[in-house]
Chain A
Amino acid sequence: MTDGIPAAPGTEGWFRESPDGFVLLAGRCTACGALSFPPRTVPGCPDPGCEGLDQSPEPLSTTGTLWSYTDARYAPPPPYPRPPDTEFSPYALAAVELAAERMIVLGQVAPDIPAEALRVGMTMELAPGTLLSSTGVEERVWNWRPVAGYDAYTGEAHA
């Protein structure tokens, strides 16, 4: 924890903030190495061929390729938090493919990035994000944001 913002409900153990940076933590099966994000809440490996019951925290890659994206133009229903007396702010969602882990992780896109700025294939990086609870309290979540200037699919630099 670097700035004292508490983890959003249900995300305890899902990420780590330190002076070295912000990382998502998968559960890694101690028997076969299978990764799960979020970490599993029920003992047992997700691989049906493995009898392992234990997992250990494993940091995930903090950059990946934008697999797809969308945006939310209409306010979602509860339990999505909506602080009192606030207008709904549209946000984009990203699905980012991590190369080493060969998995796709969803997340909200950082609020300063509009959906129009996104392209499938862009390189994205993880960043700490903040949700406001329904009582207006800040909660830590994770965001994705584009790494400026590079398109992973075409390999071309762009503005």
Chain B
Amino acid sequence: MSGMDSVAVAGVGMHPWGAWGKPFAEYGSVAARAALADAGLGWRDVQLVVGGETIRNGYPGFVAGSALSQALGWHGAPVASCYAACATGAQALSTARAHILAGLADVVLVVGADTTPKGFFAPVGGDRPDDPDWLRFRLLGATNPAYFGLYARRRMALCGSTEADFAAVKVKNARAGALNPYARFRAEVDAETVLNSPMVSDPLRLLQICATSDGAAAVVLTSEDYARRLNKDAVRIRAISAPTPTYPRTVPDFPYLASDSMATAAPAARTFRESLAHAAYEAAGIGPEDVDLAEVYDLTTAMELDWYEEIGLCAPGDAEKLLHEGATALGGRVPVNASGGLSSFGEAIPAQAIAQVCELTRQLRGDAGDRQVAGARVGVAVNQGLFGHGSAIVVGRA
């Protein structure tokens, strides 16, 4: 690996996911202290703090970087705060990585934490008719699960997927989540329970849609040399991609009211979601065949199946086959969401992409306990969220 992509994941830490309603900075400081302890570093060793923001209640994440720094005791380290919807954590990691690669810092703490109200995500208050997120709720009542229902129904029409296929994803992820001490939902679930849970947005039922959760995750990134001195240089960030979509978008992705018109411009060869992992693969010099495990943003069970195809684990339309072969379960050829996924965690937006890297790091170090993917050397994490945000991160063993 060239010096250009040598940023080490020296430490990882999490606060369990749940629904307690405590201040997000409390969760974040627990995760940050755990990540620093994991790296064998102290808070005063940190040269930059990057906080992942959520946009709610006026101040973005209560100005995340500084709020988390204050929670740990201000010691003068510079802060940065990032917002990129579900890709927030990836953007925070990217900022940290860029500082290290530019030689501006050797030790960067990246933290994402959130306290999330129960129920549907809702836009910030006030009348904002120039905001597509406000408009989709105000005019259509189109919640996030409504969009997910559209995508799931489309998959059923195109690929012949069934509700039972979607339920099998939940069964798989609940089994993995039951083994993860940081997961919020730690009980195995059978398909019948999934298929008897209340319908939320046809064809998706309650247990096929991720909950909203409290939670936090933190990562200490360091330069390669610094990590080597700490003897914490086993796991490297090999690529982070966070491209925007390209015009024209072919799908009516949330929060927009329409796709782009393809009448005057041809779409790119890859959809936005396909482009995320492929950009990261290209930057890391690998292909999907090199991936040992993946953490994908399973906002719904149906969406996990979409990701299998979009990150290149199988051909379009073959995701159900891959699932039913057991390839993506623990013990399979390429486990997906060995952590239990959002299915077992729920969504704490600014923490999620960082939590994905925590899981991949533990797996690549061989520290994942009962969830361990044998011999894992390369992992990929992907997500997609509002406003054309999305990202992919490739993590590899040195």
Contact = CB atoms under 8 A, between A and B. Distances in A.
A17 interface: no
B201 interface: yes
Contacts of A121: 157
B247 A47 contact: yes
B272 to A, nearest CB: 14
Contacts of A108: 140-141
A52 B202 CA distance: 41
- Majority secondary structure, A binding face: loop
A34 B247 CA distance: 11
A11 to B, nearest CB: 7
A126 B332 CA distance: 48
Contacts of A9: 127, 129, 138
B140 A79 contact: no
Contact of A68 (B129, B157, B247, B264): B157
Contact of B201 (A70, A100, A120): A70
- What's the dominant secondary structure at chain B's contact region? loop
B120 A77 contact: yes
A74 B200 contact: yes
Contact of B150 (A8, A32, A70, A73): A70
A57 interface: no
B58 interface: no
Interface string B129-141: 1100011111111
B258 A72 contact: no
Contacts, number: 148
A93 interface: yes
Residue among A36, A49, A106, A121 with max Cβ neighbours from chain B (10 Å): A106
Contacts of A32: 264
Interface in A100-128: 100-108, 115, 120-121
A30 to B, nearest CB: 12
* Category for how many chain B residues contact A: 35 or more
A71 B205 CA distance: 11
Contact of A73 (B140, B153, B199, B246): B199
Interface in A29-70: 29, 32-38, 41, 46-49, 67-70
A102 B257 contact: no
Contact of B130 (A35, A41, A46): A41
Given A9-B138, A80-B138, A104-B251, A68 B154 contact: yes
A71 B149 contact: yes
Contact of A102 (B134, B199, B262): B262
Contacts of B154: 67-68, 95, 120
A104 B152 CA distance: 16
Interface of A: 8-11, 26, 29, 32-38, 41, 46-49, 67-74, 76-81, 91, 93, 95, 100-108, 115, 120-121, 131, 141
Q: Which 8 A-B pairs have the closest CB atoms?
A: A70-B149, A10-B129, A120-B157, A77-B122, A102-B262, A68-B154, A35-B261, A103-B261
